[in-house]
Amino acid sequence: MAKIEFVSKLREFFTSAQAVKVSAFIGFTVLMTAVIASQNFFFQNIIENGISKRDIIAQKTLTVEDVKRTEQHKKEVSQKVEPVMAPAEDDFIKSNLQTLQSSIMQIRKKDVDETIKKEEIGILFDLSDNSKKDFIINFLLKADDNSLHEVFDKSNLTLSNILRAGITEKDYEKDNIDKIILNNLVSNVSKRQVSVIKAVLEQVIVPNLVVDEFATEIARKNAQNSVKPYEVIFQKGDKILFEGEPVTRLKRDALRQAGYNVYELNWQGLAAIYIIVFIGTFLFLCYMKFFEKDYMEPRFLSITAFLSLLIAFIGVVLPTGFSPYVIPVPAFLILMSIFTKPRVAFIAAVILLSVMSVGYQYNIQYLVAFILLSILSTVLMSQIRYAERVDVIKAGFNIGIAGLILVLSIYILEKCLIDVDNVLILKDCLFVLLNGIFSAVIASGLMPLFESMFKIITPYGLAELGDHNQKLLKRLQMDAPGTYHHSLMVSNLCEAAAEAIGADPILARVGALYHDIGKLKRPLFFVENQSYFLIENPHNKFTPRISKMIITAHPKDGIEIAREYKLPQVIQNFITQHHGEGLASYFYNQAVKEEGAENVKEEQFRYAGPKPNTKETAILMIADAVESAVRSLKNPTPEEIEGMINKIIVERLNDGQLSDSPLTLKDIKTIASTFSRILRGMQHNRIKYQENLAEELQKQKINMPAKLLDEDLENKIKQLEGDKNPPKEDKND
């Protein structure tokens, strides 16, 4: 028993909606990983454990950089760059000299024994040449003030010369202080003064040049950048690898340039590719969940997955060495923009391109070019109004031109750094131009197929459904002309209102055209068709309950007809939701009069629903009621039209029929003003035309310049005059 219960729970889990979603996610990521990894099988077949299993011949001339030798040379050049020195504070060193002079002067002035003075001055001086120490101390103590000041002045000038030239740590390391002082000594210095000046300056001189690490690093980088890369050339027909040769980095780079994917396919490689695909797919779903909830339906995710796998597969089967610019990424963007929206298409394209660039080892220039082209494609597709399919071709042409300019700019920049074959530039520019154009053509051709496969109606499909020559609309026009005319009026109202509030005007118009097709089943039971066929209202013979059953059945009948004619689900929503769960008030009130209020419940006279759950279907509910109500008024004034619109909207709000729709109060206000403006135009007064048109034209002719009266107008006037005075009958006739 417990085992049966466990199996039942397990079956319930695997058939739940959450399990299906998880299975679909895992299935897609595994399939995408398999597609991307399949390109690596070829490399796996020619390389085993880093050793070539067969000879590989270059099919074209290849110029490959020897990265290892280039990096080694850069390192050697960098090490030879001398550190960049920057000056330190010179004032500190000069102040030390002044301090030393002041200290000596104070010692000289002290009223103490001379031995003590010599000891104090000896403490100030740490001389390298002790043999001259007594001479220097005696000079500093016994020389007259003028001689002493002269020595310090010359010391100060010499110090300025030394600091101007600069002293580094290396000068100290090499014990070059004496040499530096002598080289920078001022002129007219006696031998006695030289010894004292050297002794004084030795006490104050410190390095005034320090290493500027930042400038040194820049100098080394510049030196490295100046190194030209070591290049190895494989001529067409040369062996890139021979059987049994180890595959070095140089050989791998050569194989990559020849068009081989040089990932070694093992479990680690597969896991890495799967993780990249997993993260990309997860990020896309997160974006959709938080920003594009309307497109989280399985049909939209299915077409995204299908197109992604298709583009990835094209990247796999691309011939070795062929330019990635032929991959129809623009077609992916165009189709995704039409089936979802341009913003979703851009996010999907960026993630797909990133995964493919890593998986197929594309050069960074392809990723940059396609991402920039994706931004442009998104902008172009957002501007399309879907009036004609040729607009997609125009967009594709513009994408191709933009791609050509973009790729050419990238190659011009590359030519500033390395030599690029002009034939390669020409081929890639041509490829990206044709890619944009043919992608648009391919997308236009695949649209109807994908519409049928994924049950998604595109704006182009809507435009086709809105053609009045459609079989179902022709049938509505012939069998229920009043309903057809009503649908036309309502469609105009819906289209204008949808455009005013930022909803989909094409969807609103087409949905309104088909919303009443259920009346085709019993057209004569609807008042708008009875006057056309000149028949008495059959409801006069029925009870209110029977009439209600007939009238409220037309949404259900409409669904049956819609399925018969294979109308998409988005149009079927208009059929079922345009009355919502509203009350058939006319028959309800009749039933109350006949049976009494206590015997009649509102629920018995309501439509089956559901309530409108989109802006477009909510607009239709209001427009359907407004058009019928205003048409029932005789010569209504603008105030009466506006009052009727407001009354109907308030009734629908109070009845809760708009509670499931995303319409805001601002939207409803905009819809009301749009309906009022259009209905006032429909109800305009007509002028009374001149009955005696011939006389009026003749009067106008008298006062009209001759050059404005052409021959056709003259003939029309004569014809009208002839109609006014018919020829007299012959008595003999």
pLDDT score recorded for residue 702:
47
**CB distance 380 to 398 below 8 Å:** yes
Residue type, 397: F
Question: What are 64's strand-pairing partners?
Answer: 232
Question: What are 65's strand-pairing partners?
Answer: 231
Residue type, 389: R
305 vs 23: CA distance, rounded Å: 14
**CB distance 623 to 675 below 8 Å:** yes
**What string of DSSP letters covers 109-136?**
H--S-HHHHHHHHHHH---S-GGGHHHH
- Closest C-alpha among 481, 492, 517 to residue 682: 492
Element spanning 639, H or E:
helix 638-654
**What string of DSSP letters covers 21-58?**
HHHHHHHHHHHHHHHHHGGGHHHHHHEETTEESS-EE-
- Closest C-alpha among 2, 23, 4, 26 to residue 14: 23
Tokens 């040499």 correspond to 179
* Angle between helices 481-501 and 505-514 in degrees, nearest 10: 160
- Specify the 3-state DSSP secondary structure of 241: strand
pLDDT score recorded for residue 25:
94
pLDDT score recorded for residue 708:
41
* DSSP, res 200: H
* DSSP, res 7: H
180 vs 183: CA distance, rounded Å: 5
Q: Mention every residue, 6+ apart, whose C-beta is less than 8 A from residue 540.
A: none
59 vs 650: CA distance, rounded Å: 77
pLDDT score recorded for residue 710:
47
pLDDT score recorded for residue 9:
58
Give strand ranges (E) for 480-553. Answer: none
Backbone phi and psi for residue 240, each to the nearest 5 degrees, phi listed first: -75, -45
659 vs 650: CA distance, rounded Å: 12
For each of the domains in the chain, give its residue range(s) and CATH number, in order of start: 85-211 (no CATH), 267-455 (1.10.1760), 462-682 (1.10.3210), 693-724 (no CATH)
- pLDDT under 50: residue ranges of the chain: 686, 689, 693, 697, 701-710, 713, 717, 720-721, 723-733
Q: Mention every residue, 6+ apart, whose C-beta is less than 8 A from residue 723.
A: 694
Handedness of CA 214, 215, 218, 220 (dihedral sign): negative
pLDDT score recorded for residue 709:
43
272 vs 294: CA distance, rounded Å: 32
* DSSP, res 732: T
Question: What are 87's strand-pairing partners?
Answer: 209
Q: How many CB atoms lie within 10 A of CB 369?
A: 22
> pTM for this structure?
0.64
pLDDT score recorded for residue 706:
46
- Closest C-alpha among 285, 236, 225 to residue 71: 225
The 10s digit of each residue's pLDDT in 201-241 is 777 777 766 777 777 788 888 887 777 877 777 787 777 77
Handedness of CA 309, 312, 318, 322 (dihedral sign): positive
